[in-house]
Amino acid sequence: MLKLDFGVLWTIVNILVFFLLLRIFLFKPVTQMMEKRQKAIADSLQDADDRKTEAYKLKSDYEDELKQASSQASAIIKEARDRADIEYGRILKEAKEEAAKVIADASKVIELERKKSMESAQAELAGLAMLAAAKVIGKNVDENTNKQYLGDFLKEVGAVK
């Protein structure tokens, strides 16, 4: 039959007590520490993913701002060119108007000088004609008669012209 030996029984009890003590003092703290460590690693990975996502978002925002700044710079340059073209047109128009005014003034001056020259030539011609007429007639008539003859002569010369 079966005989129980207290030595084997005592060894089994010691192993069970040792297992319970190991479980209470070793396995639970080690398991808790491993769970904390696992949670810390998971949190760290989640934080890294969050930061990575945030970094991509910031990069995207900065790229959008850069594109907007570039388009704003292009718009500013276009606006400056448009203003410069308008200013160029205005200055060119003023210069043309000024040139036309100078030409018109010069034409008026030339016409006045021509008229003065014509009047001067007519006066000299009239004086010469009066002298010639006086010599041909042989007598000098009074001043009023000379003026009347001169006026008639100038009218005839003006009509021929």
At a CB cut-off of 8 Å and minimum separation 6, what does 140 contact? 134
**Higher model confidence: residue 113 or residue 160?**
113
pLDDT band at residue 4 under the 50/70/90 scheme: low
Count other Cβ atoms within 10 Å, centred on residue 154: 16
Whole-number pLDDT of residue 9: 82
Whole-number pLDDT of residue 127: 73
Phi-psi region of 96 (alpha: psi -120 to 50; beta: other; left: phi over 0): alpha
Whether residue 116 contacts residue 151, with contact meaning beta carbons closer than 8 Å, is answered with: no
Q: Which two tokens stand for residue 29?
A: 């703290």
Kindly report the pTM of this predicted structure. Answer: 0.42
**139 DSSP assignment:** S
**CA–CA distance from 141 to each of 15, 92, 133, 135, 155 (Å)?**
173, 64, 10, 11, 20
Whole-number pLDDT of residue 3: 66
Three-state DSSP at 3 gives coil
Residue-wise pLDDT for 70-117, tens only, equals 999 999 999 999 999 999 999 999 999 999 999 999 999 999 999 999
